[in-house]
Structure 1
Amino acid sequence: MTRRSQPPYPPELRERAVRMVAEVRADYESPWAAMNAVAEKLGIGTGETVRKWVRQAEIDGGARPGTTSEEFNELKRLRRENAELKRANDILKAASAFFAAEIDRPPRRS
């Protein structure tokens, strides 16, 4: 199953949804029911989306173990930088091999 490409929800909407779930949780028989209701009220695709936001907010707040958003963004940045450095290293290795071959080649006679 492929995911549809859609623009991400704005951070303000995410924060509002998380706050609303915390506020209305007691009014519903389960947290899942509260998340579905908030998703419907705010026009968010599914309750699962809201559930992910709530879980991430709990992790970021230290209430749940896991990788915080800040740590995730830092890992993403470092992985991108690592890939770029590997590409640069491969280019330098190829250039080094090319120039080493040029130096070892006997000079041409005219």
Structure 2
Amino acid sequence: MTNPDRSRSRNDPARELELNSETLRGWVKKYQKQQEPAPDAELTVNERARLKELERRNRELEMEVAFLKKAAAYFAKDPR
């Protein structure tokens, strides 16, 4: 199934709204720029909570890997 909006030119919406295409283009660029997080932006509360959870999970997985390495080394040297 094809998207009918893909075949429209960029000027069509501006014409439909009776706007200058450059005005609409400027608004779109301004909106897109606002959606990009600033490089020095603070994390949101949700992002902080997710980061904390991911860091906890990462520590847990690192401990599991360390344990499995020790277990593998132990069983590799035990000739049963």
TM-score range, shorter chain: 0.3 to 0.5
Ranked by relative contact order (alpha carbons within 8 Å, sequence separation 6 or more), the top structure is: 1
What TM-score do the two structures reach when normalised by structure 1? Answer: 0.35
State which structure, 1 or 2, has the greater radius of gyration over its C-alpha atoms. Answer: 2
What TM-score do the two structures reach when normalised by structure 2? Answer: 0.45
